[in-house]
Chain A
Amino acid sequence: MNKLYSIKYFVLCSAFSSFSYLARGQTVPEILKFKKLAAIIAKTDDTTRVFNFFASWCMPCIKELPEFESLAQEKKHEKVKIIYVSLDFINSYQESLIPLMNKLALTQKVYLLNESDPNKWINEIDKNWSGSIPATLIVNHQKKRYKFIPNSISKATLKKYLP
């Protein structure tokens, strides 16, 4: 009986802690290769995906992250997903990206793109992108939307590009 109680207590506790962990935001990014990112960009469901390319070392990027967070809150009942794609260095993201994610309490998915040579994937996003960040891609294949913005962007402007 005692044992059962402690198991119950344990389950309850861990459920609670994982819940509060989700509410606070994630603490680690999901590391992926471009092939997988390309598959997410290519999804043909009726969700508009907003991919924000950023890095913890890029000041204008950090400045605009709250705009994306705010948009995510506003659109949380609509078919709009904000996805952060970090271009942080794979050998130092633990000291740079993770603290930033915690500090800003990012609520939306963070991927860390593990590709060293941008020439292998930048053209697949947009041929005219030189590689400077921040940059944002808005995609909804069903609504034939593919808008790439190679600059900083505000929430108000982002909303104009949503279908």
Chain B
Amino acid sequence: MKLFIGIISVVSFFLITSFKNFPTKKTAEKTVMDFSLKNTDGKFISLKDYPNAKGFMIVFTCNHCPFAKLYPPRLNALNEEFAPLGVPLIAISSTDTIQYEADGYLHMVEKSKNENFNFPYLYDGTQKVAKQFKADKTPHAYLIWRENNKWVIKYNGAIDDNGAEAEKVKNAYLSMAVETLLKGHNPQVTETKSIGCQIHFRK
């Protein structure tokens, strides 16, 4: 009889846990592959260069877009806050540099210096990384997290809810997502909408 109850409880335990897992499996999280892109200091950077990183804030941005231009101080602040906790920020420019000369590599070097970027600013000249992430505008933020040696997208969308006026931000979506993950939970908001300059993909 004891054995019977034992079997029942083991079976129901598995049933309950499998049911519990069902919804998360349904909304399958996307993973991204590592990449290697040239930084403004001339060195190539990959995610594997950060063996201790728990995750990354990846922000697709560029030089020319006025909406993206509103964010450099906020990007510096995000990196300053979360890089020491194992979640550094990496900015990537994937704009079509034929259409936007201002986004050329040398201009990126200049911008990175002028705005004192405390994070890498990588040049995605082939636009492959943007395509992999499905980034479609600048700025477009992603939070990826290390899980079983894979990089899982935990959040994508806006950095926060007020581009024009940083002091009026009510929801700092990206940093809220990082904080939640650092506490060991998945963020409740996994995707937000944001206005931005379309990344024009060369055909």
Contacts and interface: CB of A to CB of B under 8 A. Distances in A.
B162 to A, nearest CB: 5
A60 interface: yes
- Majority-rule SS of A interface residues: loop
Given A91-B165, A116-B164, A117-B162, A129 B195 contact: no
Interface in A42-59: 55, 57-59
Contacts of B161: 116-117, 119
A92 interface: yes
A118 B193 contact: yes
Contact of A90 (B65, B137, B164, B195): B164
A55 B69 CA distance: 15
Contacts of B199: 132
A122 B193 contact: yes
Contact of B193 (A59, A91, A131): A131
Given A130-B136, A132-B136, A58 B197 contact: yes
A112 interface: no
A137 interface: no
B200 A91 contact: no
Please tell me the size bucket of the interface on A: 20 to 34
Given A60-B200, A91-B165, A132-B136, A118 B195 contact: yes
B164 to A, nearest CB: 4
A91 B158 contact: no
* Residue of A59, A117, A129 with most partner-chain B CB within 10 A: A117
B198 A116 contact: no
B100 to A, nearest CB: 8
Nearest to B170: A117
B196 interface: yes
A142 interface: no
B168 A116 contact: yes
B174 to A, nearest CB: 13
Contacts of A92: 164
Contacts of B164: 89-92, 116
B163 A89 contact: yes
B165 A133 contact: no
B158 A57 contact: no
A132 B171 contact: no
A60 B64 CA distance: 12
B105 to A, nearest CB: 20
Interface in B168-194: 168, 170-171, 192-194
Nearest to B100: A59
A123 interface: yes
B66 interface: yes
B82 interface: no
B67 interface: yes
Nearest to B138: A132
14 contacts: A57-B65, A57-B197, A59-B197, A60-B198, A116-B163, A117-B162, A117-B171, A119-B158, A119-B192, A130-B157, A131-B195, A132-B137, A133-B195, A133-B198
Interface of A: 55, 57-60, 87, 89-92, 116-119, 122-123, 129-134, 151
Given A55-B195, A116-B165, 16 more contacts: A57-B65, A57-B66, A59-B64, A60-B200, A90-B164, A92-B164, A116-B161, A116-B168, A117-B161, A117-B171, A118-B195, A119-B161, A119-B192, A119-B194, A132-B195, A132-B196
The 3 closest A-B pairs by CB, nearest first: A57-B66, A117-B161, A132-B137
